[in-house]
């Protein structure tokens, strides 16, 4: 059974699907089952350039991708950053040349983040 907010990818054409309503059955694209993307998680964000780093700001939080900025090149970049704040999901889509960061304006202290690298997949920081 699929779960809300799971990410699936087609290994043939690269289509990516996010589950908005949980259900039974298999997600299929290009005649093959899509592959669920399990988020990578690391406790030591300083040794991995894909882990979202969440910093407190005067207005809320700054989410940076990696302790050293992730490349944002034509062939290797962060496609999106997602923040879950007090149960509400926010997403920012990026393109090559953009800064791999996003400031969320909120007073809530309950925040998690995940991001998707076009080469290295899904990453999460709780």
CATH class of 40-125: mainly beta
Q: Match 């080469």 to its residue by tokens.
A: 119
Q: CA separation (Å) from 87 to 27, 58, 74, 105, 116?
A: 26, 21, 33, 15, 20
pTM for the model: 0.89
Pick the CATH number of 7-37 from 3.40.50.720, 3.40.190.10, 3.30.70.1880, 2.20.28.100: 2.20.28.100
- Per residue in 23-59, pLDDT (tens digit) is 998 999 999 999 999 998 765 555 678 889 999 999 9
Residues 59-97 pLDDT 10s: 999 999 988 889 999 999 999 999 999 989 999 999 999
Nearest Cα neighbor of 67 from 80, 51, 83, 79 is 51
């Amino acid at each position: 059974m699929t779960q809300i907010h799971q990410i699936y990818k087609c290994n043939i054409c690269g289509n990516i699907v996010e589950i908005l309503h949980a259900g039974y059955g298999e997600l299929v694209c290009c005649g093959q089952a899509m592959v669920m993307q399990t988020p990578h998680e690391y406790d030591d964000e300083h040794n991995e350039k894909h882990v979202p780093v969440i910093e407190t700001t005067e207005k809320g939080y700054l989410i940076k991708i990696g302790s050293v900025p992730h490349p944002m090149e034509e062939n290797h970049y962060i496609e999106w950053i997602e923040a879950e704040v007090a149960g509400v999901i926010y997403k920012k889509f990026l393109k090559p040349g953009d800064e791999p960061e996003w400031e969320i304006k909120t007073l809530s202290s309950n925040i998690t983040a995940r991001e998707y690298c076009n080469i290295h997949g899904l990453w999460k920081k709780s």
